[in-house]
Chain A
Amino acid sequence: MGQFLFSVFACLTVVCAAGVVVCKNVVNAAMCLLLSLLGVAALFVRLDAFLLAFLLLLVYAGAVVALFLFIIMLLDTRGQQAPQARRGLTVAPRIAAAALVVAGLASLFVKGRLATPAVGTVPALGASLKLHAYLLFTTYLLPVEIISFLLLIAMLGVIVLSKREGEHSGYGN
């Protein structure tokens, strides 16, 4: 059963990842990305990495891809021909991508299976949400505080850069 589920989700991930590259329609490509991320999240669940799986779903599938779709809809690229790139430019990345896939498969065949560590040699760490939360509020409290300042200046920056002329209160002079 476990092997079967792994195969299903691995296929979903790989096929959808290929779909992101192959799809001509950008909306379809974005949806493929979403499905591919779902597959990866499912694989993480199978590894008992629940936190990672939910972060992937919430942050990437939920926020980032939704933002992509939002921008695609906003730009409304329907009915427009994608600009033809120069021939040399498209060939080079294709060769590079193909070479990477071949190298990956070759390494798998040459080296065989990944070595599996004996049970107990790998410390069971950081899988639980509780431990993560605990660390965030103890050891990593300072970075969390820094992030709050990062978000504050990012918010201020958006307001400063997007406010219409003449609405500023602090102009001076």
Chain B
Amino acid sequence: MDLSLLQHLAAGNTWGAIRPELALGCLALGLLVLDLLFPKRAGGLVACVSLAGQLAVLADVLCHFHSVWLNQDTFNGLLHPSLAGQAMRVFLLLSSILVVLLARVTLAKHPAPRIEFYHIVLVVTAALMLLVQSNHFVMLFLALETVTVGFYILVSYFRTSTASLEAGLKYLILGALSSALLLFGIAILYGVAGNPFLPGHSADAMRYAELAQFLTLNPHNFLASVGIVLVLAGVAFKVGAFPFQIWIPDVYQGAPTPVTAFLAVASKGAGFAVLLGLVLRAFPSYGWLVTPVITAMAVATILFGNLAALTQHNVKRLIGLSGVSHAGFLLLGVAAAPYAPLAVGAIYFYLLAYLIASFTVFGVMAHLAGPEDSDQELEHYAGLAKDHPFLGAVLAIGLGSLAGIPPLAGFMGKFFVFVAAYQAGMHGALVVAIAGVVVSIYYYFGWIKAAYFEAWKAPAAGSVPVPTPVGKLFGLVLGVLALGSIVLGFYPGPLGHWLQW
């Protein structure tokens, strides 16, 4: 064995570059040890430990935002840390912290095990953080599979509820199908790029850079096009873009509320980071194929999401389908990304605004949910603003931001994405998107109307679950989130500047 070669290769494994992910993995293992050592008291302790640990990791990422590994390949080119990757790390950590906070509220109402939930959330977050930095298809697929397996468990976590089990089964089957599509696409790309008869063939075409080089030299290869479309389809499944959105309503309704939030925000956000990486770094020379496919998907997704959400009465289904329309707006940004320099920053800003607004709404939903988590109807919100003015106000701000009402952050996010789409010359798609925004205002305001103006409709006490009283910590978090929506709307400056890459 050649020792010097071994040393050289081992030097490629720059473990310091993934310190936050390693810390999350160790924290997850630590939770299991905690359960082993203190089986009686671990239930309450574990959420606090997980929360404190994640806050420490978040502080670490923020302190070392411009880390030394930025823009150079680590782990022999498997990962590519970048400023966008750092921003996504912060985004994913914020969402996992908020998911843990939501879980404390929701799990208190259900006889389900605790430690495993927090453990899986931590592992999934670490995998998502690796996923958004991946620079290699092996890395992409494995990180994605770890995330998906984690979500199979989390979605069916309340296994005494039939809705949760049904959601888990649907997610399992459709998730496996989408993984198969993705894997098939990767295999085709690897196979065609390894063909020694084609110019620029490579023995390691799993690497984005080598694949991009091969694709530049073979600009209209049929097999490569099939592979690219299959890979895009696999990722589109995960973000819930049309025509791969069929699993969304049932899974979002059946999954426990914190898991729905995790799926809606973290999983979708990471999906878009992956999509951006693929479009900009792996397939840049196939714009003739990628741009029309993603634009068509964006238009169809916006139309489907908004029209299907109009008729929903269950708030979890409503937020799921409205999430589909948000995926459409984000896809518009992805389609514009190769042509408009503003688009990448706009997508990250949109994602942040979406995170803040979504968790505001999910926070209210977690408090209003009864013992059956999937049964959260619009009628349960009747008279909310009168009985619980704080929850009502926070809900209105969150929904307003999701709808894109001017002074709030959601409006600025949509505005930036639309400007980017305009710069890229996608005028037709822009008209559809603006029509979609108008439609979305209808159903978001239907929800606000239920909370504010339908006090007379409030059913007799006992027929509707009583909201859990809002704890001090959670009240503070909800207040900060609502304030964040307002402040970012009025003054997006620092972040908008920050995201100019």
Q: CB distance A173 to B203 under 8 Å?
A: no
**CB-nearest residue of chain B to A118:** B196
Q: CB distance A170 to B43 under 8 Å?
A: yes
Q: CB distance B119 to A156 under 8 Å?
A: yes
Interface residues of B (CB under 8 A from A): 6, 9-10, 12-13, 18, 25, 28, 35, 39, 42-44, 46, 75-76, 78-79, 107-108, 111-116, 119-120, 123-124, 126-127, 130, 138-139, 142-143, 145-146, 149-150, 152-153, 156-157, 159-160, 196-197, 203
Q: How far is the CA of A117 from the CA of B160 in the complex (A)?
A: 60
A153 contacts chain B at the CB level, 8 A cutoff: yes
Partner of A123, one of B112, B114, B203: B203
Majority SS of interface residues in chain B? helix
Chain A nearest Cβ from B256, distance in angstroms: 13
Task: Work out how many contacts link A and B, with CB atoms closer than 8 A.
Answer: 108
Partner of B142, one of A143, A153, A160: A143
Q: CB distance A160 to B139 under 8 Å?
A: no
Q: Chain A contacts of B197 at CB under 8 A?
A: 115, 117
Q: CB distance B111 to A153 under 8 Å?
A: no
A90 contacts chain B at the CB level, 8 A cutoff: no
Q: Chain A contacts of B124 at CB under 8 A?
A: 153
Q: How far is the CA of A172 from the CA of B38 in the complex (A)?
A: 12
Q: Chain B contacts of A159 at CB under 8 A?
A: 116
Of the listed stretches A27-35, A59-67, A144-152, chain B binds A144-152
Partner of A157, one of B9, B13, B120, B139: B120
Q: How far is the CA of A161 from the CA of B6 in the complex (A)?
A: 42
Q: CB distance A142 to B75 under 8 Å?
A: yes
A122 contacts chain B at the CB level, 8 A cutoff: yes
Q: CB distance B150 to A153 under 8 Å?
A: yes
Q: Chain A contacts of B153 at CB under 8 A?
A: 153-154, 156-157, 160-161
Interface residues on chain A, number (Cβ under 8 Å): 32
Chain A nearest Cβ from B128, distance in angstroms: 12
Partner of A138, one of B9, B112, B146, B203: B9
12 example contacts (A-B, Cβ-Cβ < 8 A) are as follows A142-B13, A146-B130, A147-B142, A149-B126, A150-B146, A153-B153, A168-B113, A169-B39, A170-B46, A170-B113, A172-B44, A173-B108
Q: CB distance A141 to B43 under 8 Å?
A: no
Partner of B139, one of A121, A142, A154, A173: A142
Q: CB distance B123 to A153 under 8 Å?
A: yes
Q: Chain B contacts of A161 at CB under 8 A?
A: 153, 156-157, 159
Q: CB distance A170 to B196 under 8 Å?
A: no
Q: CB distance B120 to A170 under 8 Å?
A: no
Q: Can you add 13 more A-B contacts, CB < 8 Å, to A141-B75, A156-B120, A173-B108?
A: A123-B203, A142-B18, A143-B78, A149-B127, A150-B142, A150-B146, A153-B124, A157-B150, A157-B153, A170-B116, A171-B113, A171-B114, A172-B44
Which residues of chain A from 124 to 167 have any CB-CB distance to chain B below 8 Å in the complex? 125, 138-143, 146-147, 149-150, 152-154, 156-157, 159-161, 163, 165
Interface residues of A (CB under 8 A from B): 115, 117, 121-123, 125, 138-143, 146-147, 149-150, 152-154, 156-157, 159-161, 163, 165, 168-173
Q: CB distance A146 to B35 under 8 Å?
A: no
Q: Chain B contacts of A163 at CB under 8 A?
A: 113
Chain A nearest Cβ from B228, distance in angstroms: 22
Interface centre among A125, A142, A152, A169 (most CB of B within 10 A): A142
**CB-nearest residue of chain A to B147:** A150
Q: CB distance A156 to B127 under 8 Å?
A: no
Q: How far is the CA of A139 from the CA of B124 in the complex (A)?
A: 23
Q: CB distance A141 to B13 under 8 Å?
A: yes
Chain B nearest Cβ from A159, distance in angstroms: 8
Q: How far is the CA of A157 from the CA of B168 in the complex (A)?
A: 12
**For the complex of A and B, 3 pairs with smallest distance between CB atoms:** A172-B43, A157-B153, A138-B9
**CB-nearest residue of chain A to B118:** A170
Chain A nearest Cβ from B116, distance in angstroms: 5
Partner of A153, one of B35, B42, B119: B119
Q: Chain A contacts of B112 at CB under 8 A?
A: 168, 171
Instruction: Indicate whether A160 sits within 8 Å of B10 (C-beta atoms), given known contacts A153-B119, A153-B123.
Output: no
Partner of B149, one of A141, A150, A168, A171: A150
Q: CB distance A138 to B123 under 8 Å?
A: no
Partner of A171, one of B43, B76, B78, B120: B43
Q: CB distance A152 to B123 under 8 Å?
A: yes
Chain B nearest Cβ from A8, distance in angstroms: 27
Chain B nearest Cβ from A64, distance in angstroms: 14
Q: CB distance B127 to A146 under 8 Å?
A: yes
Q: CB distance B196 to A117 under 8 Å?
A: yes
Q: CB distance A125 to B107 under 8 Å?
A: no
**CB-nearest residue of chain B to A141:** B13
Q: Chain A contacts of B13 at CB under 8 A?
A: 138, 141-142
Q: Chain B contacts of A138 at CB under 8 A?
A: 6, 9-10, 12-13, 76
Interface centre among B6, B79, B115 (most CB of A within 10 A): B115
Instruction: Indicate whether A156 sits within 8 Å of B142 (C-beta atoms), given known contacts A149-B123, A170-B39.
Output: no
Q: How far is the CA of A76 from the CA of B29 in the complex (A)?
A: 41
Partner of B111, one of A139, A149, A152, A171: A171
Partner of B152, one of A122, A123, A139, A157: A157
Q: How far is the CA of A164 from the CA of B42 in the complex (A)?
A: 20
Q: How far is the CA of A138 from the CA of B76 in the complex (A)?
A: 9
Instruction: Indicate whether A170 sits within 8 Å of B115 (C-beta atoms), given known contacts A150-B145, A156-B120.
Output: yes
Q: Chain A contacts of B139 at CB under 8 A?
A: 142-143
Instruction: Indicate whether A125 sits within 8 Å of B159 (C-beta atoms), given known contacts A157-B120, A170-B42.
Output: no
**CB-nearest residue of chain B to A169:** B39
Q: How far is the CA of A149 from the CA of B46 in the complex (A)?
A: 19
Q: Chain A contacts of B78 at CB under 8 A?
A: 139-140, 142-143
Q: How far is the CA of A160 from the CA of B138 in the complex (A)?
A: 29
Q: CB distance A169 to B35 under 8 Å?
A: yes
